[in-house]
Amino acid sequence: MASIMMTAMPFAGHARPIRSVAAELVRRGHDVRVYTGRSYLEMFEEVGARGVPWQVAPDFDERDYAATFPRMQERKGFRQVLVNLQDLFLGTAPAQRTDLDAAYEKQPWDLIAGDPMALGTRFVAEQRDSRWASVSPIAVWLPGRGIPPTGLGLTPGRGVLGKVRDGALGAASGVGTAVLTRAYQRTRRQVGLSTDRETFATMWYSPQLVVAAGSPGLDYPRNDLPGHIRFVGDLTDDGAAAPPAELPEWWQEVADATVPIVHVTQGTANVDPRDLIMPTLEALAQEDVLVVVGLGHRTEPPGQLPANARAAAMVPYPELLPRTSVMITNGGYGGVLQALRHDIPLVVAGGDLDKPEIAARIGWHGAGVNLRTGTPRAAAIADAYRRIAADPGYRATAARLGAELRSLGGARTAADLLEAHLP
């Protein structure tokens, strides 16, 4: 039995996949602790891990970031993304390191396996000279030859001019993120570490092992990915039967549906229904479909629903996705992977962070339609849905990617890799 410390940023989209890996390690007899926010401790303790709460690090409510981080307003755009990265991820890292160091003093671990966005993981791993792996529930798409830089939502350029464009943008992107790289180096000095050669793109990840959600086939074609990055499919795929779920009162309508079921979700962080849910309801109100809305942290639907729509705060995916024909999503990575694992084509409205990149790849591969905005109009959503409904090629591509994801093993392969990385 090994002592393993895991870290998970207190977001639903991070904690749930990492919980599946923690559960698999517990099943194999390991002593697993998980450092996360208080709102997610119970989730990990339910599967036999021991929770270690944020203490010095400022815990926060993901439904109200501004209450803890005043500069994190519900604004969109690159400038706000920079603020979010500086305040939430870089800004809390020194205190995370302090919490984790105290946990190490109390009980040393054999391996620390961390959420890459919990940057305190890197700092304590370096200072304690620990075996260290990143367990990434988010997309690991590093810069590389022949592809555009990450962050712009671009697909690879074609021909000579396209390659020149991608190269020029790659050089420029380093300038654009230099402010964050400098902030990272200052933070290293703040915690007593010397500066290193990492950039904004690489500073989050362990140089020893990265256990990455996703698959090579979901990225653009490339042959320069470092060998320590290992894709494992959908981390929530643990091979275990799903526990009985509490079903919405209207669920029998889903079970008995004879029309296509369309699922729309904005995830759990971005819950302004005007961005995607409301225009989707408008777009599909006259279609012969049943629209199932996942409200995320909202508890009430945004006004009166059309006759062909039903809504709930949380919809049980093990029951819903096998019945779903199309998913309309803001591009949250976990939801996209679960959709593809069930061979579901997607309409993706990726607004910020990694979501434009996810949308671009779905569109480029042909597994769905990239709406190229996080706030699409109803007409664009309706057109995208009709394109997918009329062309079986979208589902065929989603099924091809889904087969690859399923073949990679999910949480079980993640646990295999972590066990192999133990000292």
Annotated domain spans of the chain: 3-238+408-420, 251-407
Confidence of residue 296 (pLDDT cuts 50, 70, 90): confident
pLDDT digits over 156-188, tens only?
A: 777 777 777 767 777 666 767 888 899 999 999
Q: 3-238+408-420 belongs to which homologous superfamily?
A: Glycogen Phosphorylase B; (3.40.50.2000)
Q: Do the domains spanning 3-238+408-420 and 251-407 agree at the CATH topology level? A: yes
Contact 10, 60 (CB under 8 A): yes
What is the spatial distance between Cα 82 and Cα 78, in angstroms, rounded to a whole number?
Answer: 6
Q: What is the pLDDT averaged over residues 224-249?
A: 86
Q: Quote the DSSP letter at residue 88.
A: I
pLDDT digits over 34-67, tens only?
A: 999 999 999 999 999 999 999 999 988 777 777 7
Mean confidence (pLDDT) of the chain = 91
Specify the length of the chain in residues.
423
- Write down the pTM of the prediction: 0.93
Smallest Cα–Cα separation from 220: which of 340, 139, 123?
A: 139
Architecture of the structural domain at 251-407: 3-Layer(aba) Sandwich (3.40)
Contact 423, 131 (CB under 8 A): yes
What is the spatial distance between Cα 30 and Cα 418, in angstroms, rounded to a whole number?
Answer: 11
What is the spatial distance between Cα 321 and Cα 268, in angstroms, rounded to a whole number?
Answer: 18
For residues 368-396, one letter each, b for 16 or more C-beta atoms within 10 angstroms of the residue's C-beta and e for the rest, the string is bbbbebbebeeebbbbbbeebbeeeebbe
Number of Cα atoms under 13 Å in the Cβ half of residue 263: 31
List of residues 6+ apart from 281 with CB closer than 8 A: 264, 291, 293, 305, 306, 309
Using the Cα atoms of residue 367, residue 371, residue 372 and residue 375 in order, give the sign of their dihedral.
Answer: negative
